[in-house]
Amino acid sequence: MRSRICLAVGIALAVHGASARGEEQAAESTSPRRESPRALNGLVFQPSRLITGPFSDTSFGMATLFGAGTASAPRYNLAGNQTGTRDYTMAAYGQALDLHLRLTPDVAIRLTVEGTIFSGINGKSLLVAGATAQAGVGAGLTAGRDLSRTLRLSFVGDVGLAPQYSVLIGNAVVGVIQSRSFDSAGLLSTVDRLRAAPGLSLAWAPSPMLGFIAEARYVWTRRVTSDGSDTQSRTAQGVSVGGLAAFDLDPFITFPIALQAIYRGDYPVGNSGLSTVNQAGFGVYYSRRVSLALGLEVLWRHGDIRPGVAPSLKSDAATGALWLRYYW
């Protein structure tokens, strides 16, 4: 009799524990979602390299960037004369860090630091295409509000300094062949640009599973230092438009995975010298904990790697970013 009583008590405790865990999981997936500053209508949006989004939050994030592809650059003969173009194999690696600070429910500022290296990965590509390091230090502002339970509109703006350093081995070798003398000015290129990008970001979440973000910006750049290799005009203007579609499987089938499709296009205005760059891809994220963003974003990029510096390296490449961001 005593063993039967103990067994019944054990079963009751197990059922109660399972029920408590189920209630705790349900609470975790509902209430925090509604309270998250990056949520709209119960849908928690995930971060992206291409889209800032209209949300004001406090967070620290880091992304490891990597990629590989081909870039178009000149083909030379033994006399140092260009005989056409060909595709060279390139690779990229970088790191990005940012800090967001939510000042009010509608206003947040952000600080960003990032750096990426593009380089040829074999003898021919390293000789002709060389290597380029691009860095960026900037600050940004998000200011907006919810228009309804399903809509949010914000002003988004960023300013920063973007230095670029290139090793142009092919240019130096061609210069030696043609002039019979070595000039280090053709080997190294340094360009610093100021950049400002104000615009609007709109989010719409018709359900806790599905949401969209559309973003448009005006882009202004000004070259502040250059070694003379930059062929762009000192001031350049353009527009940037993009968007994403988000689908969270957790509210649908209780599977903690969120999917995103992303696109952004950067286009010059007039003959400013900026090049057209198109990027599109998808992201996969763990979505159960709203205080954590963990995932992988993969993009296809088409456009110049270093516009204004010859060779500009018009490329087709697959790039990826491993995301880790903590919200509090």
Q: Domain residues of the chain, as ranges?
A: 1-35, 38-327
Residues 120 and 306: beta-carbon distance below 8 Å: no
Point out the least confidently predicted range of 143-157, 227-241, 251-265.
Answer: 227-241
Task: Compare 321 and 173 and report the one with higher pLDDT.
Answer: 321
pLDDT confidence of 26, banded at 50, 70, 90?
very low
Class of domain 38-327: mainly beta
Residue 229 has pLDDT above 80, yes or no: no
pLDDT confidence of 225, banded at 50, 70, 90?
confident
Q: CA–CA separation, 276 vs 273, rounded Å?
A: 10
β-pairing, 82-104 with 59-76?
A: antiparallel
Q: Please report the pLDDT score of residue 182 as a whole number.
A: 63
Nearest to 178 by CA among 86, 73, 81: 81
Q: CA–CA separation, 267 vs 278, rounded Å?
A: 9
Q: Return the DSSP state at 78.
A: T
Q: pLDDT over 70 for what percent of the chain?
A: 85
Residue 87 has pLDDT above 50, yes or no: yes
The pLDDT of 31-46, averaged and rounded, is 84
Condensed to tens digits (0 to 9), the pLDDT of residues 256-302 reads: 999 999 999 999 987 766 789 999 999 999 998 889 999 999 999 99
Residue 3 has pLDDT above 60, yes or no: no
The pLDDT of 53-63, averaged and rounded, is 95
Q: Please report the pLDDT score of residue 168 as a whole number.
A: 87
Output the pTM of the full model: 0.84
Q: How many CA atoms lie within 13 A of 318 on its CB side?
A: 3
Point out the least confidently predicted range of 30-39, 48-57, 141-150.
Answer: 30-39
Task: Compare 12 and 96 and report the one with higher pLDDT.
Answer: 96
Across the chain, mean pLDDT equals 86
- Sign of the CA dihedral 98, 99, 102, 103? negative
pLDDT confidence of 7, banded at 50, 70, 90?
very low
Task: Compare 34 and 269 and report the one with higher pLDDT.
Answer: 269
Q: Please report the pLDDT score of residue 61 as a whole number.
A: 95
Residue 232 has pLDDT above 70, yes or no: no
Q: How many CA atoms lie within 13 A of 216 on its CB side?
A: 1
Q: Return the DSSP state at 150.
A: S
Q: Return the DSSP state at 275.
A: P
Nearest to 158 by CA among 172, 174, 175, 143: 143
Nearest to 217 by CA among 231, 195, 198, 233: 198
Q: Please report the pLDDT score of residue 272 as a whole number.
A: 62
What's phi and psi for 38, nearest 5 deg?
Answer: -105, 20
pLDDT confidence of 24, banded at 50, 70, 90?
very low
Nearest to 171 by CA among 115, 233, 228, 117: 228
Q: Please report the pLDDT score of residue 111 as a whole number.
A: 97
The pLDDT of 38-63, averaged and rounded, is 94
Give the number of residues written for the chain: 328
